[in-house]
């Protein structure tokens, strides 16, 4: 099957299981997830969705999220959008129930056994409880901030990889006629990122996106160098993404005020003019200076923290990142990552936080070896482990470690040691950073950058992953299981008469990863996401 046919088949399999085209209100995607706004949540068949081979899990949040993994989601989403558009044009009623599964799916479902189902059920209950706790004004605000930056992640990744390639070619002295073009490609987006942030901010907060972008564009306009505020000349880009964020939010409030008070006959002329004028003046003579000071403080504090207490800071950050994700507080780091990338060309925080995923992988491998008789859980780990190595850790978290309890804590221990390892090298003067946010695990290698040669940077990050894997494995293997947990789960759970040999008359199949919860993608949602 051609790749485009495979992606369309996946989209076609998903559509009826979410209630059909008529039930889809909005479609978007991040690093790993297809995010759907649905009219009627009751029309969704969660279990049938999880049985689709390409689906790694589902998440119910402010949108309904189907985890497809990096790369796949970007290819399936356009096909899904086309199918929804075709369905709307044909005015086909939304199916209320899912089609019967094919024999292969039924066989795989039959091989799901008690312990894996119990873990999946516990993981789902934990996700539901977390969702209820996260519905606070502060966390909802952080989610809106994440919605502003997540759509920018693909461009950050693409430009970041080009920047790394350009740096390598410059250092080697190769293709000198091409490197200026690569530098332009890598730097063009970052030079105008404030405009995109302003556009997305206005869209997220209910204003006119282009007006948010217009106000944010003032920040990067070269002519601001001729303007003096707070006793000093402004510089283009001063305030960066934080200034753009504040300027666009202000523009939304000004626009909404104008819509309320300006007569309809004058609205088309007066509202956009006042929005840009008022917000622009406040941005030039206030926000640019204030946001610039805050941005500088963020960069200085990150440098100071890792230079003076890198090992300790890395240990704490790497160990606490998974709980931060569980609480939804990791979204507050997205503007910080973006600010550091804008200032320094890379964020030194992301490689440290990515070690949380390494600890999770090590813990999952330890669970695999500690439960040799439980084929159900072992199949779940084998199916989810490749994605975990690439930084998609939700299936392992919500399908294995978190429901088991103690292995989640020992996974955090692995992340702490991995983060401490990278933090130690930062403290010694070897900065390790990422030129984009989103990927983690092995997927972060192409985006690595630092203040030394690429080989050193890659070696330090790779060493951190190994430390995280090893620490997570050892902590889980020796301290992740009590006698009661082993007695409950280290038993054969195969149904009577079933084998996994694949011989005629036997039941085969790989346990599909249970529904994951929100994780780093946040681009993806990223590890920062």
Cα 158 to chain centroid distance, Å, stands at: 16
**Contact of 185 with 159, CB cutoff 8 Å:** yes
The structure tokens listed for 113 are 């056994």
Helices (H) and strands (E) in the chain, counts: 22, 8
Helix (H) or strand (E) holding 143: helix 137-149
Extract the tokens encoding 169: 């070619």
Q: How far apart are CA 528 and CA 145, in angstroms?
A: 13
Pick from 356, 362, 399: nearest CA to 379: 399
Burial of 487 (0-12, 13-18, 19+ CB in 10 A): exposed
Structure tokens belonging to residue 297: 């403080």
Structure tokens at 115: 């312990």
* C-alpha to C-alpha distance for 324 and 377, rounded to whole angstroms: 26
Structure tokens at 366: 């330890």
Q: How many CB atoms lie within 10 A of CB 426?
A: 27
The answer to whether the Cα torsion of 186, 191, 194, 196 is positive or negative is negative
Residue 116 belongs to what H/E stretch?
helix 114-133
β-bridge pairing 57-60 and 228-229: unpaired
Q: Is 30 among the residues known to form the active site?
A: yes
Tokens read off for 66: 């189907």
Checking 201-206 for CB contacts under 8 A at 24+ apart, the result is 201/148, 201/244, 201/245, 201/248, 201/249, 201/252, 202/248, 202/251, 202/252, 204/144, 204/147, 204/148, 205/144, 205/248, 205/249, 205/252, 206/252, 206/256
Find where tokens 């350009």 sit.
Answer: 166
Helices marked H in 221-263 — which ranges?
240-261
- Residues 21 and 94: beta-carbon distance below 8 Å: yes
Of 30, 159, 258, 412, the catalytic one is 30
| Residue 128 backbone dihedrals phi, psi, to 5 degrees | -65, -40
Contacts of residue 504, Cβ cutoff 8 Å, sequence gap at least 6: none
Q: How far is CA 110 from the centre of its chain?
A: 33
Distance between CA atoms of 436 and 507, rounded to whole angstroms?
44
Which residues are tagged catalytic? Answer: 30
């Amino acid at each position: 099957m051609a790749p485009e046919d495979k992606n369309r088949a996946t989209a076609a399999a998903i559509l009826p299981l979410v209630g059909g085209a008529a039930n889809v209100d909005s479609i978007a995607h991040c690093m790993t997830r297809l995010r759907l706004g649905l009219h009627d949540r009751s029309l969704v068949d969660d279990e049938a969705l999880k049985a689709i081979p390409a689906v790694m899990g589902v998440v119910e949040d402010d949108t309904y999220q189907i985890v497809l993994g990096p790369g796949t989601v970007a290819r399936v989403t356009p096909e899904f959008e086309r199918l929804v558009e075709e369905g709307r044009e044909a005015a086909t009623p939304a199916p209320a129930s899912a089609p019967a599964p094919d024999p292969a799916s039924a066989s795989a479902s039959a091989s799901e056994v008690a312990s894996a189902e119990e873990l999946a059920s516990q993981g789902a209950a934990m996700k539901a409880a977390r969702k209820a706790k996260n519905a606070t004004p502060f966390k909802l605000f952080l989610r809106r901030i994440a919605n502003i930056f997540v759509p920018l992640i693909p461009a950050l990744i693409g430009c970041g990889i080009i920047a790394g390639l350009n740096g390598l070619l410059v250092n080697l002295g190769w293709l000198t006629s091409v490197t200026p073009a690569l530098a332009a490609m890598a730097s063009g987006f970052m030079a105008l990122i404030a405009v995109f942030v302003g556009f997305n901010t206005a869209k997220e907060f209910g204003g006119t996106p282009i007006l948010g972008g217009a106000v944010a564009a003032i920040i990067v306009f070269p002519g601001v160098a001729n303007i003096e505020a707070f006793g000093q000349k402004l510089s283009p880009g001063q305030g960066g993404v934080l200034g753009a964020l504040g300027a666009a939010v202000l523009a939304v409030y000004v626009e909404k005020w104008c819509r309320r008070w300006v007569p309809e006959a004058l609205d088309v002329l007066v509202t956009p003019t006042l929005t840009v004028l008022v917000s622009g003046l406040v941005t030039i003579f206030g926000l640019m200076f204030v946001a610039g000071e805050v941005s500088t403080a963020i960069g200085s504090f990150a440098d100071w923290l890792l230079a003076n207490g890198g090992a300790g800071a890395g240990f704490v950050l790497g160990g606490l990142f998974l709980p931060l994700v569980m609480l939804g507080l990791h979204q507050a780091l997205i503007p910080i990552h973006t600010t550091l990338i804008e200032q320094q060309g890379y964020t030194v925080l992301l490689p440290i936080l990515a070690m949380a995923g390494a600890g999770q992988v090590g813990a999952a491998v330890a669970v695999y070896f500690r439960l040799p008789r439980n084929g159900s859980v072992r199949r779940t780990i084998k199916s989810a482990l490749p994605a975990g190595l690439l930084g998609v850790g939700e299936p392992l978290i919500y399908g294995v470690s978190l429901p088991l309890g103690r292995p989640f804590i020992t996974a955090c221990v692995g992340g702490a040691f991995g983060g401490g390892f990278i933090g130690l090298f930062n403290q010694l003067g070897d900065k390790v950073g990422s030129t984009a946010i989103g990927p983690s695990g092995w997927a972060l290698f192409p985006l690595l950058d630092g203040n030394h040669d690429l080989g050193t940077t890659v070696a330090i990050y790779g060493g951190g992953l190994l430390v995280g894997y090893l620490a997570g494995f050892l902590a889980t293997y020796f301290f992740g299981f009590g006698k009661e947990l082993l007695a409950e789960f280290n038993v054969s759970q195969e149904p009577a008469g079933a084998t996994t040999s694949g011989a005629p008359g036997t039941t085969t199949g790989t346990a599909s990863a249970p529904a994951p919860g929100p994780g780093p993608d946040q681009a993806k949602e990223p590890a920062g996401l």
